[in-house]
Each structure stands twice: as C-alpha cells, then as structure tokens.
Amino acid sequence: MTWAETAFPASATRPGIGRKASLLLVATLTIMAGTTISPALPAIETAFARVDGVKLLSRMMLTLPALFVAFCAPLIGGLADRYGRLRLLVGSILLYGLAGISGLFADSLMSLLVGRAALGVAIGGIMTLATALVGDYFSGAERERYLGLQQAFTGIGGVAFVAAGGLLADYHWRAPFAVYAVAFAIIPAVVAFLTEPTRAVRVTQAPAPTGENAIRWLPVAALCLLAFLVNMIFYFIPSQLPFYMRAVGIGAASSAGFTLGLHNLVMAGSALAYGRLRSRLSVSTIFVIGLCLMTLGFVLISFSTTMTSVLFAMAVAGAGLGLTIPNLISAIIALTSPTTRGRLAGMVTASMFIGHFTSPFASQPLIEAFGYQEAYLAAASGLAVLAIICAAIALKGDGGNRR
C-alpha cells in the first residue's frame, strides 16, 4: 500500500481528499513561520547595526511570535467554541500572510517586530483551529493516519521553506519575507473544502470528571517544565546557528538554510518512527534516548567548523528532537481525561512557546560572556542533566507507561 492509499483511502470522497489536502497545507504554515527568516538574521542585524540592543532584538525576530502564540491560542480556542471555526481560520490565515510579508516594507527594526508579533497571533489561531478541525473531522484510525502524514508533511515543508529562505537571503535580507505570501494561495482551498462543523459536534461535552480523573498536578507541572526547558535549549539552534556558522567561516545564508532544513527533515523521519518505538518502550526511556541524542548533537555543534560537521551535528540533534516532542505530547495526553485534555494540552503548548521566546535571553548572555562553543556546551550540559533525571525515573519505574 502506498502512502497515498494510506492517507486517502479509495473509499474517500473527493471532498474528503480536498479536506485532508487543505488541512495539510494549513499545517505547513506553522513550520515555516520561524525558520524561513532564520538564515537572514545576520543580515538583519547588520542592516540595523545602529539600533541599541540589535543583537538581542534581531534574535527576537525569530522568537517573538512564540510569546503571542502562548498568550492568544487559548483565547482563540474559546472564541472558536462559541462562534465557529472557519471564519476565524480564514481570518488567521489572512493575518498570517499580511503580517509575514510586512517585512518586505518595514523601515525600522521595531516595525519588523510588530509584524512578527501579529504573525504570532495568526499562528496561535491557525494551530488552535486546525487542531480543533482535525478532532471534528476525523476519529480513530483515520485520525492517526492523518496525524502521521501531517507530521511528515510539515517536516518536508520545513525543509523546502527554510532552503528557500536561505537562497532568498543570499539575494537580500528582505526577500525571505515574500515566502509568507503562500498563505494567500491557501485561503481558496480552505473556503472550498473545509466546512463548519455542526454545533452538536463542536460543543459535545464529555461526562464530568470523577475523582480518578482528577488532574495529577505534579507530573503535569514536571512535563510543562520539561517542555519549557527542552524548547528553550532547542531554540539555541535556529536563533544562533546562522551567527555561529558565520563566526567559523561558513558565511552564506543559504548554508544556514540547508542545515536547518536537514534538521527538519531528520526530525520528521524520527517522529514518524515514534509510534513503533513507543509500543516497545516507556515514556521515560524514550525521553532518555531523545535527550541523549540532542545532547550529542549540541556537543557536536560546539566543535563543528565545517559544513559537513555542522550538517552531521544537526542531523543528530534533529533525531533527538523528533522523539522528544511527540513523547511530550503523548505523556501529557496520558494524564488527561476528556474534560481536561484541551486545558492540559494548552498548558504544555504554552510552555513550549514560552521556551522559544525566552531562548535568546538565555543564549545571548552566554555567548557574549563565553563564546559560541561554550554556550552550546552549556546547552548540552543542561540536556544531559534532563536525560539523567529521566533515566533515574525510568530505572525507578514510571508505572510501566507502556501502551
């Protein structure tokens, strides 16, 4: 059976195929949001060199949207439950396109940052509404097939968009912002193939939670903390790697684009293998594997001085992240009941994006005080500590935590 037959069974109607394809296109908007302009960050810093604090502010071009995702996603989710999904989704995609291409015209670093903030609001809407529609449209095995395909699709899309961003950044630092215009081409597909779920589907409520379904706040808090730390450390890569590569003599913006693209590709492949691995190993054990791979990847990055060595280091780090992120989601879902799932998923998602936002505040002082190599080694040390903690939990036994 081919991937197409798996994703789109013969029994599927044409509207069903269009619906899945449209949602897959929407999903690519989230993966391209940050890494598309990452290769242009050094040039943006140079263009606004006279601005106070430009070193930190230029890195925030990549991470500022995450703060607005964390703040706005729960609000947009509440509005969607009350007023419907599709109008908000179309509005979010339109805002995404307008905010994204604003970098083509912005004449100051502050106006660029305002555009990135608006982009974060749009991403929060797109992620929340697309996830809700997946739950509305699909169930059971069909939903699992779709989510697996979506992960692969977004990973491959990340490769294409970040490579395009790198090539365009070689031409001019503004050019990568043009990539965001692809959002306008997706709106007709959304209008044509996605339908508003009936109110009965949208507001159906699960039975009230019983005592055994009460939230276990200690493991929830631990997972949220882990999500924050892993994502804060991971973002040392997209926010700092282009500058590190320039410092070691790999100066072309397209080189940074290709390395980040490889990271996305390996991450996608690793994530697709997660389900099979999870059927054999516990949550804590997979955390150990993923975090050890990320640790090794960061150590290799710190000693990389050639394009080949950087690519290998990024592949190793990407393989680790591809296991760690779905494992976080799996772990939080295991702690939920139908009446708490949305709230807890929102908490761990917010933790991830706050980690993205705060990453430059952790990495930039380290780099300025000690240098790039030492900063990446410090990040590797932090990941190693997390791996050791997870290993201790795995050895102690985490309740089996097998499927």
Picking from 403, 381, 398, the residue whose alpha carbon sits closest to that of residue 285 is 398
Is the pLDDT reported for residue 281 higher than 80? yes
CA triplet 224, 227, 228: central angle to 5 degrees? 90
Per-residue pLDDT, averaged over 289-316, amounts to 92
**For 60-78, how does the pLDDT look when each residue is reduced to its tens digit (9 = 90+)?**
787 788 888 888 877 887 7
Residue 2 has pLDDT above 60, yes or no: no
Residue, of 292 and 197, whose pLDDT is higher: 292
Q: Could you tell me the end-to-end alpha-carbon distance of the chain, in angstroms, rounded to an integer?
A: 26
pLDDT, residue 383, reads: 94
pLDDT in the model for residue 67: 83
For the CA atoms of 41, 43, 44, 45, what is the dihedral angle to 10 degrees? 90
- What gap in Å lies between CA 316 and CA 298, rounded to an integer? 9
Position 136 scores a pLDDT of: 72
**Pick the residue with more confidence: 175 or 346?**
175
Give the model confidence (pLDDT) of 211-246 as tens digits.
545 667 888 889 889 989 999 999 888 778 888 888
Alpha helix ranges (H) inside 138-252: 140-171, 182-193, 199-203, 217-234, 236-247
Question: What HEC string does 108-158 produce?
Answer: CHHHHHHHHHHHHHHHHHHHHHHHHHHHHHCCHHHHHHHHHHHHHHHHHHH
Q: What is the pLDDT of residue 183?
A: 93
Question: pLDDT band for position 346 (50/70/90)?
Answer: low
- Mean pLDDT (the chain) is 79
As a whole number, mean pLDDT of residues 38-55 equals 83
Q: What is the pLDDT of residue 344?
A: 64
Place of tokens 């779709």: 146
Domains of the chain: 13-204 (1.20.1250.20), 216-403 (1.20.1250.20)
Q: Please give the average per-residue pLDDT across 81-96, as a whole number.
A: 87
Question: Rounded CA gap, 189 and 169, in Å?
Answer: 29
State yes or no: pLDDT of 387 exceeds 50: yes
Q: How would residue 142 be classed by pLDDT, with cut points 50, 70 and 90?
A: low
Nearest to 352 by CA among 198, 216, 223: 223
pLDDT value of position 143: 57
Phi, psi at residue 377, to the nearest 5°? -70, -35
pLDDT digits (tens, 9 = 90+) for 173-208: 898 898 899 999 999 999 999 888 765 444 444 444
What are 349-384's pLDDT values in tens digits?
Answer: 778 888 888 888 888 899 888 888 899 999 999 999
Mean pLDDT for 250-277 is 77
How many other β-carbons are positioned within 10 Å of the β-carbon of residue 377? 18
Residue 9 has pLDDT above 70, yes or no: no
**DSSP letters spanning 268-318:** HHHHHTHHHHHTTS-HHHHHHHHHHHHHHHHHHHHT--SHHHHHHHHHHHH
At residue 338 the predicted structure's pLDDT band, cuts being 50, 70 and 90, is very low
Distance CA 333, CA 220 (A): 10
Whether 36 has a pLDDT exceeding 60, the answer reads yes
Q: How far is CA 114 from the centre of its chain?
A: 21
pLDDT at 190: 92
Q: Is the pLDDT of residue 10 over 50?
A: no
Rank 89-103, 115-129, 352-366 by mean pLDDT and report only the highest. Answer: 89-103
* pLDDT at residue 3, as a whole number: 38
